[in-house]
Structure 1
Amino acid sequence: MSFRSFAALGDSFTEGLNDPGTDGGFRGWADRVAERLAALDPGFRYANLAVRGRLLDQIVEEQVPLAVAMRPDLVSLCAGGNDLLRPGSDPDRMAKRLAGAVRDLRATGAEVLLFTGVDPRDTPIMRRARGTFAIFYMHVRSIAELYGCRLVDQWSMQGLRDWRAWSDDRLHMNEEGHRMVAAKVCQVLGVDCDDDWRKAWPPRESAAPAVRRREDARWVREHLGPWVVRRLRGRSSGDGLDPKRPELAPFSRPEPPGRAS
């Protein structure tokens, strides 16, 4: 099946943090998939409405209606990760909200791509809420089955459990992580891709306990602390930011600085 248009909805994961782009912004798995789809169809159009920090309700209220109006062939919807990080999140309520959004998107005739998240058991902070994550992602699987959506199951991607697929903040994938996800998405869509999502990392020596403690302390100081402060102040990293590709338009990969014609 070919896709002539693609709208990507979500938060920082879909926006592309922290996969550096050539224009000083972020690339990410969605741009990588769009690049591949554009190579297959010269008339391909792409929109990326994702904004970092967005909660599920915000994505449903702000981004889903725009995608419904665009009527693309393909819509990706990944939402809920920021909600699950917050105390008291309700995966059952979240699933009902997500199901309503999927129903609206599918009613346009679009193929809808849903995602589970990565198993958080190796993450010191998030593994405490592993059961909540698992419940929500079981709902996502059920929604995908009920509405005939395509599912990208990151929970089963063992290569993403290696820290070498993640950036220093331990919350966002790096270039290699996004590359793996893009390869998985292409497989789910039935699109040829040069990369393989089944990453086999070479062995590496375990860091000494003292080194790990220093790394954990630096992470708390530089990443966890500021995140907690923003939550307490009711702020988000995406406040005041607009989507990087707000409209369906022909896909073109940004030129690096100094090379624009």
Structure 2
Amino acid sequence: MRELTIDEQTPLRMASLGDSFTEGVGDEYADGTARGWADRVAQGLADAHGTEVRFANLAIRGLLLEQIVTTQVEAALALDPAPTLVTFNGGGNDMLRPRMDAARMVGLITEALDAFSTAGIRVVALAGPDPTGGLPLGQTIRRRGAELTDAMTALTAARGVDFIDIFHDSEIQRPQYWAEDRLHMGPDGHRRVADLVLRAFGRVETPHALPAGEPPRKSVSDQLRYGRSHLLPWVGRRLRGRSSADGRIAKHQQWATLTPQQ
């Protein structure tokens, strides 16, 4: 991956696009506001270079890939001044639907990458982590995720776009990195993703990793509680045609300025 250079006279402007993965669900501050890997990366770049970084996080949980491309790409291009770096991820929610049109998704990703390329904005595309270890129908979701990741690998290589493959990171597939709902990463998961991104930029040598060890075994009551608290509400939203995105707006729609903390 190309080295990221920062002109100290012109602060880096990083905009992040995506769904709950990029919004930071599962990695919350004490007040309940999502933090997440993208916010951690922006702060890490500010710390590493001792300079200001301007940051916008346009991601919204629950969005399908088409919604991300048709709303967030335009929003990122409309930022003033324009971004110098965009991180792009999407498709996780599409993989959870009864049907997934991989060819359509590749076309949408191509549309997004080309829009930023035309505008002269550097893009870093990410394949999100594999959540399937604790999910029903995990094999189907894993197959879809692998198919989309392979397509993104080929697409980004053909266009000279930087690509970070989190999907095949075996460490983050351990249950200890995931939140109680088993669909979103917990704080340790978001920290590891941030370090993997910062390592790709040459800013971290050894990504965050938890000590080796087996996770606690799930009892029958644990599984029942998981079903009531997380699985059934998710199914209920699907049946009602609702989404966790309903009524939500991006947490950083305009530029926020991050200053070095160390």
Instruction: Give the TM-score range, shorter chain.
Output: 0.7 to 0.9
- Aligned pairs for 1:139-178 within 5 A: 139-178=151-190
Does the residue aligned with 1:81 lie in a helix, a strand or coil?
A: coil
What amino acid is the match of 1:53? G
What amino acid is the match of 2:178? W
Q: Does 1:13 align with 2:21?
A: yes
CA 1:178–1:226 in structure 2 vs 1: closer, same or farther (change >3 Å)?
A: same
Whole-angstrom CA distance in 2 between matches of 1:104 and 1:11: 19
Q: Does 1:53 align with 2:62?
A: yes
In the alignment, what sits opposite 2:252? 245
Count, aligned residues: 248
In the alignment, what sits opposite 1:258? none
The runs of at least 4 consecutive aligned structure 1 residues that moved more than 6 Å come to none
Following TM superposition, by how much is the alpha carbon of 1:24 offset from its aligned partner in structure 2, in angstroms? 3.2
- Show structure 1 runs of 5+ residues with no match: 254-261
Whole-angstrom CA distance in 1 between matches of 2:69 and 2:212: 40
Alignment root-mean-square deviation, CA:
2.0
In the alignment, what sits opposite 1:256? none
Indicate conservation of the 8 Å contact 1:5/1:74, yes or no: yes
Indicate conservation of the 8 Å contact 1:11/1:54, yes or no: yes
What amino acid is the match of 1:54? L
TM-score computed with the length of structure 1 as normaliser: 0.88
Does the residue aligned with 1:239 lie in a helix, a strand or coil?
A: coil
- Aligned pairs for 1:129-148 within 5 A: 129-148=141-160
Question: Among the aligned pairs, what percent are the same residue?
Answer: 38
Structure whose residues are more often helix by fraction: 1
In the alignment, what sits opposite 1:219? 226
In the alignment, what sits opposite 1:86? 97
Cα deviation per residue 1:38-91 (whole Å; 9 max; x = unaligned)?
232534211000011011111111100111233311101110000110011111
Indicate conservation of the 8 Å contact 1:183/1:196, yes or no: yes
- Show structure 2 runs of 5+ residues with no match: 7-11
In the alignment, what sits opposite 2:9? none
CA 1:163–1:205 in structure 2 vs 1: closer, same or farther (change >3 Å)?
A: closer
In the alignment, what sits opposite 1:38? 46
CA 1:108–1:226 in structure 2 vs 1: closer, same or farther (change >3 Å)?
A: same
CA 1:172–1:146 in structure 2 vs 1: closer, same or farther (change >3 Å)?
A: same
